[in-house]
Every structure is written in C-alpha cells, then in structure tokens.
Structure 1
Amino acid sequence: MTADTSLDVAIIGGGVAGLWILNLLCKQGRSAMLFESDAIGGGQSIASQGIIHGGLKYALDLKLGQASAALADMPGLWRDCLQGKGAIDLRGCRIAAEHHLFWVRKSLTSRIAGFFGARMLRGRVDALESAEWPSVLRDPEHVGAVYRLDEIVLDVPSLLRALAEPWRDHIRQVPGDFTLERDAAGNVVALRYGDGRFVQAKQFVFTAGAGNAQALRQLGQPADAAQTRPLHMLLMRDAPGLLHAHCFDSSDKPRVTVTSHHLGDEIVWYVGGQIAENGVMQDEAALIATAKAEFSSLLPGLDLSRCRYAGWQVDRAEGATETGAKPDGPVFRRHGNVFVAWPTKLALAPRLADAIIAELPPAKASPLPAYYSNWPQAPYAQPVWERVTWR
C-alpha cells in the first residue's frame, strides 16, 4: 500500500445513501469511490417502495411527533433535485406518482377529517373530491375520504441509475468479506479482501445496511449497536389499476401501503404497511391468503381474480434505539476515521449525507488512483417484481 493507492474517502455499500454521499464528494473533486459487494441498490434500496415521506405516515395517532418533523421538508428537497435545482441533479429519475394518497375507511372518516384539516397541515395535505379519486378507490360504501399528500413516489431502479451513472468510474464491485487493517495509532488504513485486493483511504464510510454489522464487529462494537426491523412485502401482479396510497385504520400504522409498478403491460402492486410487518410471522402462502382477505375487506368491489401473488422478505437495518423502535432520523456512529451510517428512511438519505460530510476533514481535489481502474464495475440490482416467483 502506498500513497498512489490511497483515496480520500472510501464508501462501502451501494444503496441510495452511499450513492448520495458519493455524488456530493465527487462534485467537490475529492478522490472518493464506492465499493459494493453485490449489485447497486441490491439490499434495502431496491426493496423500497420509493415513497419520499413527508412525515404524515407517522402521525396516524393524530399527533405530529419527532419522526414526522424529521421528514417534513424532505419532499421539497427531493423535488428540487428532480427538477435539476438541488444539490444533486436527479432529472434522470422517473417519478412514479407526483403524490402519494391516504384513503380512509368509511367508518373512520370523522375521526381523521379534523386532523387533516388543521392549519398546521395546510400545504401538506388536500382532501380530494370523489371525482378525483383513483378508479380503484371509487367505492363510497367502504371508502370515506381520500387525501392527497405532499409526497412523491419514485421509481427506485431509475433513481439508482440517476445517482450512479454520472460517477460510474467511481463505483467498483468487491467481495463481501474483508478485514480492517490499522496503523500503529489504531486508525483504519485499509480494507483487505480475500482475493488480495485492498481499499486504502483516509476516511471510510459504511452505508451497507445489514452489511454494516461486519464493520461494527471488527470495530469492537456490541451487536446491539444496530437493529433490524424485518418486513414480508407482498406483490400483486396484474392488479386492477394504478394506486399509490396508504389505508388508514384504527392502528398507528397504515393497514396497507400500496405503490404501483409496471411489468411489461401489467401493473404490479407492491404492498407494505401493517400487513408486511405482521407478515414476518407468516410463510408466503399464509401472507398471500391474508392479503386476499384484507383487500376483500377493504375494497370488496375490486376484481382481483386475475392477480398473481408473491412475497419478498427484507430486513430494514438501522442504528439501534433503547426501545427498539424506529429512530426518528438518520443515524451514524463515528469511530476515529470510520463512519457507520444508516439513513433510516430512503427520504432521509440527503440529510445523512450532509451530516457525514460535515464531519469529514477538508481535503484538496485530487484524481482517482489508477490502482482501482481495472476492478469490475458493480451491476444494477433488478427490481423486486422481476426476481420473484409468482403464484
């Protein structure tokens, strides 16, 4: 290892958080590279529904808490980037829906109407006239109200490309296992891989989601420094129409959260919310049976006879909290010249990136070391709906 192989910053983990940090560093001219052991966005990012939350999902107890406040300005920040006016140019990202919706069951309309009409929420939520409702929600016997949220839904595969393509030469694929190498003062100076390759840098930033556990172990951190909250997501192929919406029930979480995607000429519903959280206790067949009963109860007029189904399991990795609850915002832990980071939500990746870059020591602009030029490039992850086995 020599000065000719040293980077200013090495980022480990090629999801949206790592890519966002890479973009900001490269725009500063710093010698930064991102290293991914699988595919770009292949973990939590590609499994995301792509909703840029504004926090109202976390106000289902009809209160605006810390989690809601942390997300309140995120839709505006992302919209600026999507229009080419923000810190990162995301004009190459496809917007799946300009607004996410909130639909309320008929029996609960009065409970939520006053909250969503409050002055503090003006500009963040609008009640839609029934003629503006998506066709799949036009069931006045069961749907009491539909609200339009100031939340964009992004096509995640195109988001990953928009973030990665401008800096493709700064992204390389590496094996999964590594060893941290330290100098006499205890600072990490390199990652050593089993095939003999190494990554040498002045600063290391781990944004690998569940993969951060390997770095935490080698840094001597306890296993409970991070936590996971698993989901068993549901996919419905050949769905009856486009829908991007939460369904409000009496719980403090959406009963279902639906986003729509395209597989050829067919529409695929990708379903999260309470059904996905409860689904971790079910196998795929049980999850599908539950989903059929759930949609039959929520929207009994829909014809779902042509639908085919699949499940997709994902672990949401994040910084640990004392209670095990979701952190209110992004989390990073610094260990000398090593940062281990989790955005908590896709929408909060820009905030995490700004926080970490503010902690990095200044550095002069410098070219990339030639040592990494012939390393293989990481491929892009396939969308979830192209990888499942349909039932």
Structure 2
Amino acid sequence: SPSTGRTNSLSPLLSTSAGSQSSLQRLDLVRSLATSHGLLDELISIFDTIAFSSEELQIILNKIATKHITDKHDLQRLIASAKHDKTFERILDDTYRSQAKILAIELQAEKSRVLELTQSNADLENTIRQFQQQQHQQPNNMAQYEQMILPYQIQFRRLADENAHLQHQLHAYSMLPATINELKQQQHILNEQLRQLTIRNSALENEAAESERASKRAAEIYKKADTQKQERIEQMIADINKYKKLDKELTNFRQKYNEIDKNLNEKINEVTHQRDKLRVHCNHLKEQVEQYEQLQIKYDKLIQSKSNNSTFQIQQEINKLKAKNDELRQRNWKTMEELNKSLHEQQDNQNTKSS
C-alpha cells in the first residue's frame, strides 16, 4: 500500500542517519588508534553488531578523544626521537592504510546513503503525484478521504521526528572540531537534507490542508446529495400513493365495465331473440300478403262476372282488404326498420367492446 511504501522509504533514511553517525564514530576511533589490522577489524565488527546507548557512546567517544590526545603526543615524541626508524615508517604506513580503508568504507556507506535518499525522494514524489491524481478524481465517500489523509499525517509526524533527530545530529556535529573536512562535508549534506525535508514538509502541509478542504467539499456534496435523495424518495412515495389510487379506480372501472358488458350481452341476446321473432312474423305477413293478392285477383274476377248491384259491396270489401293490406305492409316495413336498427346497434356495441 502507499502508506507501507512511505514507511519503508522513511525507515532507511533514519537508519542511514544513525549509520552515518556510527561511521563517523568509527572513523574517530580508527584515527585515534595506531594498531594492527586485526584489532581494527575487530573494533569495526563490534560497532556493527552491538547497539550502544547514547550514554555508552558518549563514554566511548570521551575515552577515544583522551586516547587520541595521548597517542598524538606519543607520536610526536616518537617522530622527534626516531625520524629514520623503519619500524616507525611501517607503523605510519599501516595507520594510513587503515585510515584509507575506513575512508573507503565510509565513502561506500555515503554512496549507499545517497542512493537510499534518492530512492526515498522518488518514492515521496510518486506518493505526492498519486495523492494529487486521487484528489482530482473526487473519491466516492468520506472514508476514502480519511484513508488518504491518514498516511500523510503519519508521514508528516515521522518527518518531524526525523527533522528533530537531524537537528540534534547537526548540533552534535557542530560541536566537533571544525578542521575535519569529513565532518564539514557531512554537516553540509545534513543541512541540504534538512532544507529538502523542510521543503517537503511544507509541501505535505499544503497537501494536507488541501485534503481537508477537499474533505469539507465532499461532505457538503454528500449532504446535498442526501437531501436530494430524500426529496426524491418523498416524491416517489407520493407517486406510489397516486398510482395506488389510480389502480383502485381502474379496478372499479373494470368492475363497472364487466357489469355493463354483461348487461349489454343480455340486451344483445334479447334483441337477437326479438329479431328472430320479427323475422318469423315478417315471413308470416309475407304469406298473408300473398294470400291477399290472390284474393284481390279473385275479387277482380268476381267484379267482372257479377252485376252492378253487387259491385259496390264487392268494392267495399276490396277497399277493406286493400286498407288491411296497406296496414300489414306498413307494419311489415316498420318491423323491418326496427330489426335493421337493432342489428346496427348490435354491431356498434360489438365494435365498441372489441376496441
């Protein structure tokens, strides 16, 4: 995770600072002792494997400083008394070789430390870039903002602790003799590191403030979204109640429609039955009309055969038959019109029902 990566990138920085301090103490120890290579390696191994407390390291440094002063006086007396002694030259040569070895070790440690600081710087820049990208993407909830801010807060506290440690280390280095070039270089490096870390701390503080502002904006957005969501829920509830009311009205309408359809079917059946009866009656009337027409023919023949006395009586009967015939025809036409009207109404009702 990003927080784990930042923790891993910070821990080498702290360990490197402690290692640099230990290497400087080893350098002072070696320069103060003109001994064989075996004793030198053993002392280096002791300092690499054993973790000393601050008080123990201070006691060791005091003894080394005292020993350094004593050895320096002894060395000066030895140089004055035996300038051409080969043994003294060999001792000096061993001492210089030991110092060169320690300087090479220290140089390698400084190179490793520079690489670790470069990697730590790259990790921090990648983390800041990821944070900026995530900030522009507007996270989906407040928990993501809090998770994003928390690693930076932890990193900020660790950087603050590291700054305090570096300032303490810088103060300790400033108390050492100013004529040592290695200490001056180390002090310059630490000052540069402190300046870079101060810049990074300022950038992280700005990013943390920006994250807090983004969190507030997100909270406002979520609050507004919750309000709109509540309004939509209330509107949906009102729509559901409206739909329930419409469904109830539709159910009542369907019941009324079924009742009307049932009554209409009954009326259609009744009209159909009346139509059948009227058709039978119409056929019967047609038969009667045919009979009356035949009777009229017979009466016409009788008129020609009988005398004038009986003509008036026959004419009256004929007129009665004609009147009755006309009445039957009118009834027949009226019945047919009612039948056609009923058929049209039945067809219209069927069309309305099908639609």
TM-score w.r.t. the length of structure 2 is 0.23
Asked which structure has the greater RCO (Cα within 8 Å, sep 6+), the reply is: 1
Q: Which has the larger radius of gyration?
A: 2
More strand by share: 1
More helix by share: 2
TM-score w.r.t. the length of structure 1 is 0.21
